[in-house]
Structure formats: C-alpha cells, structure tokens
Structure 1
C-alpha cells in the first residue's frame, strides 16, 4: 500500500487526487489559464481533508504529457518543488494512457479498444491506441503527434471508442476509424484520479524518477513561441 498525490494540468481541467492506501479522492476544477493559481490550494485542501502532510506521502505523480505546453510545465514545476522539498520520488504518467485507464475502469462487459486524441493545436492531434489487459492498459499504438488524417484505424472486432478533445477534428479523421467506432466522447480528458491509481503499482515496481528527472513529454521537438511586442 502507498500514499501517492497526483496532479494534472495538461488540459483546461485542473485536478489533484490522493491514493491513500487504496482509498481514492479527487478534486477537479475547470480553470483555463488559472492552473498555476489554483493547483497548490487544491493540493493543500485535499491533503488537509485527509490529515496528511506532503512529507507523509510515499510518492508524487503527475500527468507528464502530451498536452498543453504551459499546463505540462506547471504540473512538472509544482511536482519538482514538492519532491525536492520532501525528498520524494516521482511517478510520471502518460495523459493519454490515463484517459484509456479511466475509460476501461468505467465500462462494464466487453471493454474493447480505445483511441485517445487530444487537440495539439496547429491542426494536429496527440494520439495513441490502447486495449484492456490484465495489468490494466496495453498500448497498441504508441504516442504520437500529427495531422488528424494520419491517425491509423485500429482493426478490431471489439467495441471501439474514440475519446478526447481531438474529436474537434472529427471530419478530418480517417473515415474507416470513425465508421468503426461505436462511441465518440469528446468530453473525456486526463484526470488525476486515474493517474493516482495507476501510480500505485508503478511505484511498487520501481517505475519512479527523481525530482530533477520529472520532465514533461511534449512529443513535438520544437515549440513555436510568439514574441511579445517590444521584446
């Protein structure tokens, strides 16, 4: 058993969750452009409600990406600061895998396969494909970024769901993928609750990094920044 605090700021939603020896609690706020302001107070409240301090945790976890560049940096920065201060290990968790994990947990009966899509801006999507496994989630298409037209269809006779904000490009996705999907859920996004639960076995298996190694995964090699006027 373990006590693990997880946070995710990779999308418009800001969420923090606590895995407390098998008991899971979460706080979620949809706060675009306010993650840096809201995340620490949410962490303080969540730990306070459980009468815990950061130093009593076994590890920290965070959504390491892909996702919003600014959001990923906020989560990584907060986790690094807390981990350094309390000398805690960190469990980086894929945002796309966390989406699939939460979906499979919610479903009843045949769980099938999922394609998780996040809007990557610049007319591209972050995406990956998963199926359910005895260990939770099995990756069948690796994380990647590219135009919606390049999202490979998953050839499956199982129920197929397409999840995430990348569905804003629905008309540009390959027709065979869309036609073979039984479920399309554009509102489905990364959540700290799934990350906290996923982090527990990852921590037990030693899949941890140090505070300085807790870095975002952008998938893009280069990020285009707009220069402010006068700079």
Structure 2
C-alpha cells in the first residue's frame, strides 16, 4: 500500500495542474507558497490537447528547472466537461504518475482529481477579487454541457475556502432559476459564474445575482492543490477517474421521441 501522505504539505510543495475539460488546454506549474514559482500555458484544447499536452508539460518543467520527480502531486480537472478532454487529462496524469517513481514516491506521484466546477468557481472568485469586488456569499458554477443542458454546482465562500453545497448535476437552462431558488441561491449575494451566458442568454436573462464569465483553469487547480493535498484528497494513479455526470453522449431515437 502507498505510504500515508503528510497532513500538511510543505510550503515549498510543487504541483503540476492539468485542465482540459473545455475547448481550452490550460497547464500550470508552481509551488504552494504565495508568490511561488509559476509557469503556465494556455492553448487550443479539444482534439488538439492530446498532441500538445505532453510537450508543453515538458516545456514548463524545463522553464522551471524541475523534473517530474521533484513534484509533490499532479492536479487535474476530473469533470464534468468534454468527454474527450476529461479522458485526456486523466490518462496523461496517470501516465506521468505511474512513470515517476523514486525514493519520495515509490508508488508514483500522488494525483489530485479536482471537480471542474470547483476550479471554475475558484477562478471566478480570484477574478472577482482582483476587480475589487467583495466576496459573494455563494457562487453557482455554470458550464455549458452542450445538447441544451448545463453542468451546475454551488459553493459557499468561507474563511477556509470554497465549500460545496450542491454537487455537480445536469440542468436545462429553463430550469436553472428553479434550481437556484430551491438551493436558496436566487439573491444578489450569489455570483453566477461560467460560460453559459452567451450560449443560453435568452433562457438565463431573468436570473437574479451577479454575473461573471469564467472557465476552469490550471491556475485555479494550482491554488486549490495545497489544501486538497493537506485534506488527504490525493489518490494513487489507479484510483483517479473522470467525473462525467452525463452518462451518455447521445440519446437513442426512442429516448428523443419519448421526451418530445
């Protein structure tokens, strides 16, 4: 069995973050301490991510003067999101973890599978603060799931960070107002964050709350990684799995006719 992880990672802990759940490939490499070394890459995702990802990871390591064995963990966006993107991030993270075994990590690098909507909410929080706005009480993360649906989740802002209050689920745009009301999130102290406003503007036009366009990013994963590692959320490569939420990419003819 892999040895137990420390309760508190060192301030100099080093992380690689991989986020490919949308049409953007996002990578970040850095340390846990504030102002620690940070190297980043952003480019086209989707089908191109699988060919670009590994060379860019190596480029970031070279820029930092680090090797994979110098890392303490790899964080990756586990979903929900693009099926291809999630599989790519998970497979690459597993491969890097399995291939990096040394005295510090005899069983390979630990992995931190992070919910995509948590990373989206964290990026929105950071952008909101950078613009000088006070922190909202809650954030509802909204990610376009295609097929006229959204991935949604909700988080409370606390002194300890973002805390999930409603887990990821699928929601029709027209049903979002009701879902927000059911969660008590239909007021001005809720930040609605994501990439859904331009896609489903008509259906979302009457929603209450502040709005901010945002995507999950590797930098958000990097900020979340130390706390997740300290909380014991790291897993072995074999236990790292995507979170799809939607079980099927397409419905059958019978299913489509039944919902008409």
TM-based fold match above 0.5? yes
Aligned match for 2:145, one of 106, 120, 142: 120
State yes or no: 1:27 paired with 2:41.
yes
State the match for 1:6 in structure 2: 17
Q: 1:149 to 1:174 in 2, by over 3 A?
A: farther
Structure 2: distance between partners of 1:15 and 1:195: 10
Q: Note the residue ranges of structure 2 that are not aligned, 5 or more in a row.
A: 1-10, 101-107, 253-260
Structure 1: distance between partners of 2:83 and 2:230: 29
- 1:124-165 Cα distance to aligned partner (Å, 9 max, x none): 11011223111211223221112112222213342x332222
CA contact (8 A) 1:19 1:197 kept: no
- 1:188-209 Cα distance to aligned partner (Å, 9 max, x none): 1010011011011111222111
Q: Which moved more, 1:163-172 or 1:77-86?
A: 163-172
CA contact (8 A) 2:123 2:215 kept: no
Q: Which moved more, 1:15-24 or 1:5-14?
A: 15-24
CA contact (8 A) 1:61 1:196 kept: yes
Q: With structure 2 as the length reference, what TM-score do the two structures score?
A: 0.79
Q: 1:109 Cα deviation (Å)?
A: 4.3
State yes or no: 1:197 paired with 2:228.
no
CA contact (8 A) 1:25 1:193 kept: no
State the match for 1:229 in structure 2: none
Q: 1:45 Cα deviation (Å)?
A: 0.8
State the match for 1:94 in structure 2: 115
Match of 2:109, SS?
A: coil
Q: 1:52 to 1:203 in 2, by over 3 A?
A: same
Match of 1:33, SS?
A: helix
State yes or no: 1:169 paired with 2:197.
no
State the match for 2:156 in structure 1: 131
- 1:169-218 Cα distance to aligned partner (Å, 9 max, x none): 1222383xx2x123242xx1010011011011111222111101111100
Structure 2: distance between partners of 1:100 and 1:57: 25
- 1:35-78 Cα distance to aligned partner (Å, 9 max, x none): 00111111011111111111111111100001000000000000
Give every structure 1 segment of 4 or more consecutive aligned residues whose post-TM-superposition deviation is greater than 6 Å.
Answer: none
Match of 2:200, SS?
A: helix
Structure 2: distance between partners of 1:58 and 1:209: 12
Q: Which moved more, 1:88-97 or 1:133-142?
A: 133-142
Which structure would you say has the larger Rg? 2
Q: With structure 1 as the length reference, what TM-score do the two structures score?
A: 0.88
CA contact (8 A) 2:20 2:46 kept: no
| Paired positions, count | 220
Structure 2: distance between partners of 1:8 and 1:161: 22
